Structures are given as C-alpha cells and as structure tokens.
Amino acid sequence: EPAIGYPRFISGERDCPPEDCSGIPGFYELLEARADPSHPGHADIREWLEGYTPDELDEFPIEVALARIAARRNAAAKVVSV
C-alpha cells in the first residue's frame, strides 16, 4: 500500500535465541532440554538461561528499528522521485 512505510512489523512469536546456542536448531534443542528435567544438560541449561523467557517478545525495539529503516527508505525514495 503506497501510504504505508515498509518494512513493517506485523507480529512475532518468540524472543530471539540467546547468543551461542547454535542457531535455530540449537535453540529448539535448548528449549527441549530446558523443559525436560531428565535431560542430562537440564541443570546447566537452566542456569545458563536464568532470566531468559523465550515466550516474551518485546515488540517495541523491533517496531522502532523497522520504523527507522522505513523512514530512511521512504526519504531516499522521495529524493529519487523528485
């Protein structure tokens, strides 16, 4: 839609994976181990992820970052079209 600035945040599901978790597959393995008390690495993973809540997503910083990108993109498009 011409009146909307892009890129634009539509929705999100989870917080980003923590550093050094081996990417998306490692992230899901980490979540499984965290949820399974019988997993051999459960205690270490719980300690490592203390305070991390993957189901909480702070949308505000995402919206701000994308709004900045959209503002630069829209400003550049106006300069090119003039």
Output DSSP code: residue 53.
-
Highest-confidence range of 6-10, 31-35, 70-74, by mean pLDDT? 31-35
C-alpha span between 59 and 55 (Å, rounded) = 12
Residues 6 or more apart whose Cβ sits within 8 Å of residue 59: 9, 12
pLDDT computed for residue 40 by the predictor: 96
Specify the pTM: 0.59
* Residues 30-66: tens digit of each pLDDT: 999 999 999 999 999 999 999 888 888 989 999 999 9
Position 76 pLDDT exceeds 80: no
